[in-house]
Amino acid sequence: MELFEVPLYDDDFIKMIGRYAINLLTVTVLVRLVYYRRSRSKDYLFTFYMLSTVVFFICFTLKKLELELGMAMGLFAIFGVLRYRTDTMPIREMSYLFTVIGIGVINSLANLKVSWLELIMANSVMTALPAWLESMPLLRQESQEEVLYEKMELVHPDRYEELLADLEERTGLTISRLEIGKIDLVRDCVTITIFYHPHQQSVQDVDGVNISRRGKRL
């Protein structure tokens, strides 16, 4: 059956549903279980899901037009350099953005020469590798807060344990490291940069209102 000389159905429809299901599952594991679990930031969840979905359907649709390799690579490059004109996206989020774009392209453009096992392997690696890197203590995402601290007597190296305990008590943060900055002897205060892992902090829920802390992510 055709409508305006366009078939209402062909076998690629089932293929599209199957591949999109794999694509959506992979992006969910990557974004929800890897990225959000570590960053606790919802700012880019909508972007990751929508961009991966849009790229998938664009590539799947255009694949049937038999694009030349140069044009296909140009299309991929356009999405790869995509920038938002609001806030600058941190480099880690840009890495996840590029990954979800790649996942959408791979799942949509894979042809009959790519077996299901190869496709599953590619998706598995692109989700397992970020999860492994995020679990490494050296590469865990950190946020930072800069505070003006008035207890100058605790800044002495012999009292760093008291300094750390006091900052954790007053800020409610589980601190991973500190950097002592500018010391102002005139105003008797010091600038301290606090570093902490977002996923280690408790999230409060008061009367249905979610309260979390937004820090500068590194």
Closest residue by Cα to residue 30 from 115, 134, 119: 134
Measured between alpha carbons, how far is 100 from 113 in angstroms, rounded to an integer?
Answer: 22
Residue 58 CB contacts under 8 Å (≥ 6 apart), including other chains:
75, 108
Per residue in 5-27, pLDDT tens? 656 666 777 888 888 888 889 98
Measured CA to CA in angstroms, residue 133 lies from 23, 32, 36 at distances of 21, 16, 14
Per residue in 142-183, pLDDT tens? 778 888 999 988 988 898 989 999 998 888 888 888 889 898
Measured between alpha carbons, how far is 12 from 108 in angstroms, rounded to an integer?
Answer: 11
Measured CA to CA in angstroms, residue 62 lies from 19, 58, 67, 105 at distances of 15, 6, 7, 11
Residue 200 CB contacts under 8 Å (≥ 6 apart), including other chains:
174, 176
What predicted TM-score, i.e. pTM, was given to this entire model? 0.55
Average pLDDT over residues 89-106: 77
The beta strand positions in 10-87, using DSSP E, are: none
Q: 60, 16 in Cβ contact below 8 A?
A: yes
Residue 162 CB contacts under 8 Å (≥ 6 apart), including other chains:
154
Confidence of residue 211 (pLDDT cuts 50, 70, 90): low
Q: Give Dmax (Cα) for the chain.
A: 85
Per residue in 43-70, pLDDT tens? 678 878 887 887 787 777 766 656 555 6
Q: 216, 189 in Cβ contact below 8 A?
A: no
Which residue bears the tokens 């300094």? 163
